[in-house]
Structure 1
Amino acid sequence: MLRGIREVAERTPPQRERYVDLLRAVAITAVVLGHWLVVNVTYDGAGDLDGYSVLGELTWSHPVTWVFQVMPLFFLVGGYANGASWDSHRRRGVDTAGWLLTRGNRLLIPTTVLIVLAAVAAPVARLAGAAEDVTETAVWLVAIPLWFLTAYLAVVMLTPILHPLHRRAGWTVIVVLVGVVALTDAAEQLLGVPHITLVNYLLVWLAVHQVGFAWRDGMLDDRRVAAGLAGGGLVALVLLTVPGPYPISMVTVPGEEAQNTAPPTLALLALAACWIGGAILLRGWAARRLAGLRTWMAVVAVNSVVLTVFLWHMAAVVIAAIVLYPPGLMPQPEVESVDWLLWRVPWLVCLSVVLMVLVLLFGGVERHARKVGAGPARPGAGETGETGEGDAPGRGRAMTVTACAAPAVAVAGLLGITTAGATGEGPVGIPGWALAVYLVGAGTLWLLAVLRSR
């Protein structure tokens, strides 16, 4: 494996923006560590498994969430990578359907493996004697990362529309998106308009994703622009949270009515500006270090399984709790105690070991998913058309419509799964309708890719 990573690192083309890969690796690592530190899993003598966020008790930790809430970096990198991929595919004559099949399957194939195994494991565990509420909690914990995939898959689906719009309107698109977020926040807070901010689940991440397009097109190369984003974002963040109406925590806090991530708010966009500006300012320093083979090999190694790490990191928590807690191998001190903080260190070590095993088992799925795509480019497709010379226009349009509809259906299923919580709906711990809808969408996208490659 090490030899393969070295070969990939050595074959990296000189024009590749290595810093994008570094930011992706750093963002996912920070998210994983943040979840591992925040989620407290307990197991009592009666065999009940429970999990909850400690942020409701550790109020002193709320400012620390500004450091660990790095999801904006991932959407920034996603915008950069999706813009590059879109341009590359269009130059090679791959149409919209082909691009959606490639990008969608890269996300959905590894995700489907996680969902199906969780759905199978729950009834098997019940047949083996596990309590129903234990399996419900376990499935809920495993599914926590899927909220991110729901939002990210949605912005990927919109890239064929919003990337050309970016090329025409540039910063105007971003300003409009930010303005709409501000208006929806104001409408709910000042006018009491209910549920209007739900659109921010999409708009906030679309705005950050659009900045990724801008970065790739050189619109952030001026350090004054980056410094303005970082400084202006920090000032806005402080004003919006300390004396302002938004909570300080950038992560969901149990029991609090106001949240910055559920749904995302203008304050979260201010934090995103801080992260984006700071990241661009550090680009030169990081690029010099990424020129070294060893450093670049480490980044390549993480990125080769980055989705696997993200998808399975909460499964590692469930497995570790089931293995370590019942026999008393890991103590469960009270939250807020010094012992609890000290035991976080060996707990993180154990989780890292379990996650490494899971990555060894399922990392190959992610690598395989990268090869499932659009098939050969169609002659005549690309910038000027959606079908090639050998394609019937009706068939090409049908393929495009289906390739757009399939990930949309998968998103609807993911929404049902992620919003259900630990309800235990259905025999598999996941709402049956949501599981079925997701599998239809993901399965259709995979089948289209297989048919297209023949």
Structure 2
Amino acid sequence: MGGITSKVLAASAGRDRVMDAIKALALLLVIAGHSLAWTVTSDGSVINTLDAAPYMFPLTWVLQILPLFFLLAGAGLTRLSGSREARGYLGRLTRLSAPALPLIAITVVLALAASAIVGADAARAAGVLPVQLVWFLGVYLVLVAAAPLLVRCSGPWAVAIWLVVILGVDLLRVNVNELIGWANLILVWGLFAAIGTRLDRLRTIRPSLLVLGTIVFASGAIFAIVVGPYSPALISTDAVEGISNLAPPTIVLALVGLAQICLLLLLWSLLQRALDHDRLWVPVAIFASRAMEIYLWHMLVFTVAIAGMIGLGIAPAALSLLWWLQHLAVATVVLAVVWFAAPGLGRLSRGLAGWLGSISPRLPLGTAWARVLLVVAAVTLLCVSESGVAQPITARVVLLLPYMPLAGLALLAIVVGLATKASVVVDDVSRSDGLR
């Protein structure tokens, strides 16, 4: 164990322990939410557990802390400047997009197998559920491309304008066209990332102001739910009345996120002191090193496990003792599978990116090309998340764009290859200029 501890401490030297821990916790809570969100009914269908127990919606306020992930991701965007800017863009593009390639490819195979064995309905589910979470990568890539703009639009008055615009989009969503609401997919998550670019200064805010901010923003979110058209849940569900606060995000999620940010800043010193103890930090660091692979792949394994429950006819009543035992067993198996698979999946994505880079042509090295590649990858991932990959050679319109799953997979592979090749070229130039 001492050898493992030494290796982990050496590998994580210089990292901000609080930032890594909170980002890992945000992803872990998403997985925890998904482990509870499904219930198999007696007729073999699958429903959201909230549909059977809508009174459980307050749990979504505990499990939904992705605003903190984007806050801390924004803190890293300030480094995308100067002579290393192009390499920063390209490196993030490769690291974020490459892990999605094998997931999308395997989901295509899973959907085809489900279509041949079970039928069209099962194929649609198998082609959507495992890849739904890549929206997260798509949004992240858009924010990386917009990093300079986020840095400039992060002051107090800018944040106030962000909130007004987000509220305006909500009003247009409700009163004009619900599709307009999807603008908040970038605006809400972008707000948190923009605030994150000022994280160092935010950590100097007086505790009394942070307490006040937590109360004001949380109260604002509750007020919006009471007087507005919003669901009281922070996920998408029909179990409680109101428009979804997650798909797309709303002013409610924005205000809840701001309250979470104030609370995190208030607790930062306490968390830092706790994580200074290596006995606590080492397991956190080990999980954090696998968190992205676990996050991306857990839905595919859950999909297979839930299909197994349906096939075996195991359908206990929602929230009964047998239901809890079933979900504990399934979650344990799923987490064990993705935990042990994560290092191999990481090597697979890195190896795939390297191979794609080796067969790709070289492109110009400027940041303009890097941003173009980021946007192309982001749009592709958002289309995959929205429409899935069932019927992989069938064209359709998604996000007002033509989309075919296999073509999207091929396009993403091309982008990863170009970014990998270009980042190698940038590294070579950096070494020759003495930048490393």
Shift in Å, 1:203: 0.4
> Counterpart of 1:6 in structure 2: which amino acid?
S
> How far, CA to CA, are the matches of 1:343 and 1:220 in structure 2?
46
Structure 1: 5+ residue stretches without partners: 375-393
- Is 1:282 aligned to 2:281, yes or no? no
> Counterpart of 1:73 in structure 2: which amino acid?
L
Shift in Å, 1:297: 0.8
Contact 1:215 1:221 in 2 (8 A): no
- Is 1:419 aligned to 2:386, yes or no? yes
Q: 1:316 aligns with which of 292, 296, 301?
A: 301
Q: 1:354 aligns with which of 315, 332, 337?
A: 337
1:230 aligned residue: 214
Taking structure 1 as reference, are residues 280 and 139 closer, same or farther at Cα in structure 2, changes over 3 Å only? same
Shift in Å, 1:433: 4.0
1:86 aligned residue: 80
Identify the range of structure 1 (421-430 vs 192-201) with the bigger mean alpha-carbon deviation. Answer: 421-430
Contact 1:65 1:250 in 2 (8 A): yes
Contact 2:90 2:419 in 1 (8 A): yes
What secondary structure, in the 3-state scheme, does the structure 2 residue paired with 1:326 have? helix
Shift in Å, 1:287: 1.0
> How far, CA to CA, are the matches of 1:366 and 1:5 in structure 2?
26
Shift in Å, 1:325: 5.0
- Is 1:21 aligned to 2:20, yes or no? yes
> How far, CA to CA, are the matches of 1:66 and 1:172 in structure 2?
27
Shift in Å, 1:312: 0.6
CA RMSD of aligned residues (A): 3.2
Contact 1:260 1:268 in 2 (8 A): yes
> How far, CA to CA, are the matches of 2:2 and 2:334 in structure 1?
23
| Cα deviation digits, residues 303-356 of structure 1 (max 9, x gap) | 21121011011012023234555356xx22133545324432222222222222
> Counterpart of 1:9 in structure 2: which amino acid?
L
1:292 aligned residue: 277
Taking structure 1 as reference, are residues 442 and 180 closer, same or farther at Cα in structure 2, changes over 3 Å only? same
| Cα deviation digits, residues 238-278 of structure 1 (max 9, x gap) | 21113443210110004766111121111111110121111
Shift in Å, 1:361: 3.1
What secondary structure, in the 3-state scheme, does the structure 1 residue paired with 2:198 have? helix
Contact 1:184 1:196 in 2 (8 A): yes
Matches within 5 A, 1:23-422: 23-40=22-39, 51-83=46-78, 85-86=79-80, 90=82, 93-94=83-84, 96-123=85-112, 129=117, 131-163=119-151, 165-166=152-153, 170-189=155-174, 191-192=175-176, 194-218=178-202, 221-254=205-238, 258-323=243-308, 325-327=310-312, 331-335=314-318, 337-365=320-348, 395-396=364-365, 399-421=366-388
Contact 1:120 1:428 in 2 (8 A): no
Contact 1:139 1:422 in 2 (8 A): yes
- Is 1:434 aligned to 2:408, yes or no? yes
**TM-score relative to the length of structure 1:** 0.81
> Counterpart of 1:185 in structure 2: which amino acid?
D
Q: 1:446 aligns with which of 416, 420, 425?
A: 420
Contact 2:225 2:252 in 1 (8 A): yes
> How far, CA to CA, are the matches of 1:76 and 1:278 in structure 2?
13
> How far, CA to CA, are the matches of 1:413 and 1:282 in structure 2?
38
> How far, CA to CA, are the matches of 2:349 and 2:272 in structure 1?
27
> How far, CA to CA, are the matches of 1:309 and 1:24 in structure 2?
13
Shift in Å, 1:403: 1.2
| Cα deviation digits, residues 123-160 of structure 1 (max 9, x gap) | 46666x45444333222111121121221221122113
What secondary structure, in the 3-state scheme, does the structure 2 residue paired with 1:264 have? coil
Taking structure 1 as reference, are residues 311 and 156 closer, same or farther at Cα in structure 2, changes over 3 Å only? same
What secondary structure, in the 3-state scheme, does the structure 2 residue paired with 1:261 have? coil
1:383 aligned residue: none
Contact 2:93 2:141 in 1 (8 A): yes
Contact 1:241 1:247 in 2 (8 A): yes
| Cα deviation digits, residues 166-225 of structure 1 (max 9, x gap) | 5xx622322221121012223344x53553322111000111111111213346542233
**TM-score relative to the length of structure 2:** 0.84
| Cα deviation digits, residues 35-65 of structure 1 (max 9, x gap) | 11113467978xxxx6542323321011211
> Counterpart of 2:137 in structure 1: which amino acid?
L
Shift in Å, 1:33: 0.6
Shift in Å, 1:4: 5.3
> Counterpart of 1:35 in structure 2: which amino acid?
H
What secondary structure, in the 3-state scheme, does the structure 1 residue paired with 2:197 have? helix
> How far, CA to CA, are the matches of 2:219 and 2:71 in structure 1?
21
Contact 1:43 1:325 in 2 (8 A): no
Taking structure 1 as reference, are residues 354 and 40 closer, same or farther at Cα in structure 2, changes over 3 Å only? farther
2:399 aligned residue: none
Number of aligned residue pairs: give it: 414
Structure 2: 5+ residue stretches without partners: 358-362, 397-403, 429-436
2:7 aligned residue: 7
